[in-house]
Amino acid sequence: MIEVSHISKTFQKDTVEVQVLQDISVTIQEGEFVSIMAPSGMGKSTLLNILGCLDKSTEGTYVLDGVPVHDMDDDELSRIRNEKIGFVFQSFHLLPRMTAWENVTLPLVYSDTNSNMKARAVQVLESMGLADRVDHLPRELSGGQQQRVAIARALINNPRIILADEPTGNLDSSSGEEVIRIFRQLHAGGVTLVVVTHDMDVALQADRTIQMKDGRIASDVARARQSAEVAT
């Protein structure tokens, strides 16, 4: 599903070159639930942005779903983001003047779909337990509800991959647990999940945890708990 090899990323900061990622190679299979852990500022968001086709690596190759994306132009990357990737952010990033369902339909605006956008949005919101919040504005919702609207938005176009950057970082513990529960459900449904976090409790929910340090992969540990979890 995701094959990155020998990826490096350098930023030009004033006159100094900062190397954020150094020679990272990782392969994520379809349907995997992977957490990436690192102290803040250690390049995990950059890696996530590259995986999400929002950013490009300075060096290395990236093959997504069998397609090499590292030399695609901006329009092609936008299309990939629209069709294959759903983002979930720490600060939700909902449009404040749009209702929940309108926020959820945003990816459809830029897709080729002609279906009834509202009906689809309402359906996804219902699956997030937000059936009675469809016409609410983000400021009328709690943090946990906002993040569930954001997840609904990430799911509306049936993406292959969900990328989440500290999805529980701005939530209280019960809301955070709700989000993780939803992620495990999605995982059970076959969606590939990559979650960046520095919260060990969240990281341990994944099947596999990649630890990063100084822009390199420090460890890559898989856990055999997926089957047990699904069975319960």
Partner 1 sequence: MRLLRMSKQAIRSMAENKTRTFLMMLGVIIGVATLTVITSAVLGARAEVMGKVEKWGIDQISVMAGAGRKPGVPQTIPTTLRIEDAQAMLSEIENIKDVSPQINRRDFPVKHGGNSTYGVLVAANPNWSSVWNTKPETGRFLSEEDTGRLARVAVIGKTVQKDLFEDEDPVGKQILVGNNPFEVIGVLEARGTSPTGLDLDTRVVIPLSTGQKRVFNQDYLFTIKTVLHDSSTMGQTVDDVRALLRERHNLQTGVEDDFTIVTPTQVMAIASKLSTIFSVFLILITGISLTVGGIVIANIMFIAVNERREEIGIRRAVGARKGDILIQFLMEAVSVATTGGFIGIIAGFLGLKALAGFIKLPTALMWESTVLALFSAIIVGLLAGIQPAKKAASLNPIEALR
Q: Which is nearer to partner 1, 82 or 197 (CB)?
A: 82
Distance (Å, rounded) from C-alpha 46 to C-alpha 50? Answer: 6
CB of 224 to partner 1, least distance (A): 34
Q: Which is nearer to partner 1, 89 or 198 (CB)?
A: 89
CB of 67 to partner 1, least distance (A): 16
Q: Which is nearer to partner 1, 110 or 140 (CB)?
A: 110
Q: Are 46 and 69 in contact (CB under 8 A)?
A: no
Q: Which is nearer to partner 1, 102 or 207 (CB)?
A: 102
Q: Is 204 helix (H, G, I), strand (E, B) or coil?
A: coil
Q: Are 151 and 132 in contact (CB under 8 A)?
A: no
Residue 65: count other Cβ atoms within 10 Å of its Cβ: 15
Enter the DSSP assignment of 111.
Answer: S
CB of 183 to partner 1, least distance (A): 19
Chain residues in the site for partner 1 (CB under 8 A) = 49, 52, 54-55, 74-75, 78-79, 81-83, 87, 89, 93-95, 97-98, 106-112, 114, 117, 153, 157
CB of 93 to partner 1, least distance (A): 5
Distances (CA, A) of 64 to 23, 77, 216: 18, 11, 21
For 153-162, give one letter per residue: b (16+ CB within 10 A) or e: bbbbbebbbb
CB of 104 to partner 1, least distance (A): 10
Q: Which is nearer to partner 1, 103 or 209 (CB)?
A: 103
